[in-house]
Amino acid sequence: MMRCCKNAFPHVAKMHHYAMPMADLILDHLTEGVVTVDAKGRITAFNRAASDLTGLARPQVLGGDCQAVFGPCCGGACILAEALRTGMTLSDHPATLRTAAGGLRPVAVTTALMRDPQDRVVGAVATLRDLARERTLEQALTERWKLEDVVGRSPALRRIFDLVPTVAAGGSTVLITGEPGTGKEVLARALHARSPQAEGPLVVVRAAGLSPEVLLEDLCGIAGRPGRMLRAAGGTLFFDDVQVVPPVVQVALLRLVQEGLVEAADGSSTTPVVVRVLAAAPASLLTGGLLRPDLAYRLEVVRLDLPPLRERAEDVPLLAEHFIDRLNRLRGRRVPGISDAALALLAAQPFPGNVRELEAVIERAYVLCGEGPIGPEHLPATFITPSPVAGGTRLAQAEASVLAEALRRHGGDRAATAADLGIHRTTLYRKLVDHGLISRPRRRSRTPGGG
- Residues near 55 by Cβ (< 8 Å), separated by ≥ 6? 99, 100, 101, 103
**Dihedral angle, C-alpha 100, 102, 106, 110, nearest 10 °:** 30
Q: Over the stretch 106-130, which tens digit does the pLDDT of each residue have?
A: 888 888 899 988 888 999 998 888 8
Residue 395: per-residue pLDDT:
57
With respect to residue 166, please indicate whether it lies within any of the assigned structural domains.
Answer: yes
**C-alpha dist (Å) from residue 336 to 103, 211, 322, 333, 374:** 21, 47, 12, 9, 8
User: Which of 307, 342, 372 is the last residue in one of the domains?
Assistant: 307
Domain encompassing residue 299 = 148-307
Maximum Cα–Cα distance across the chain: 102
Tell me: do 273 and 351 sit in the same domain. Answer: no
Please give the Cα distance from 394 to 313 (Å, whole number).
9
Indicate the pairing of strand 43-46 with strand 33-38: antiparallel
Question: Is there a single domain that holds both residue 303 and residue 316?
Answer: no
Instruction: Please check whether residue 349 is in contact with residue 389, taking contact to mean a CB–CB distance below 8 angstroms.
Output: no
Query: Are the beta carbons of 238 and 197 closer than 8 angstroms?
Result: no
Cβ atoms of residues 16 and 1 within 8 Å? yes
The count of C-alpha atoms lying within 13 angstroms of the C-alpha of 21, restricted to the half-sphere facing its C-beta, is 0
Distances (CA, A) of 448 to 441, 444, 451: 21, 13, 9
- E strand spans, 286-355: 302-305
Chain segment 330-362, per-residue pLDDT in tens: 888 889 899 888 888 898 899 999 999 999 999
The residue from 281, 307, 333 where one domain ends is 307
pTM of the model: 0.57
Phi, psi angles (nearest 5°) of residue 328:
-60, -45
Contact 78, 43 (CB under 8 A): no
In this structure, how many other beta carbons lie within 10 angstroms of the beta carbon of residue 92?
A: 12
Amino acid letter for position 160: I
Classify residue 382: in a domain, yes or no: yes
Number of domains in the chain: 3
For position 238, which CATH number holds? Answer: 3.40.50.300
The amino acid occupying position 382 is T
Work out the pLDDT band at 417, boundaries 50, 70, 90. confident
pLDDT at 449 > cutoff 90: no
pLDDT band at 61 (very low <50, low <70, confident <90, very high): confident
Cα atoms found within 13 Å of the Cα of residue 65, Cβ hemisphere only: 7
Q: At 203, give phi and psi (nearest 5°).
A: -105, 120
- Per-residue model confidence (pLDDT) at position 263: 95
Is residue 141 situated within a structural domain? no
Domain contains 447: no
- The residue from 250, 285, 307 where one domain ends is 307
Examine the domain organization and report whether 325 and 369 are in the same domain. yes
Do 169 and 297 sit in the same domain of this protein? yes
Residues 292 and 155 in one domain: yes
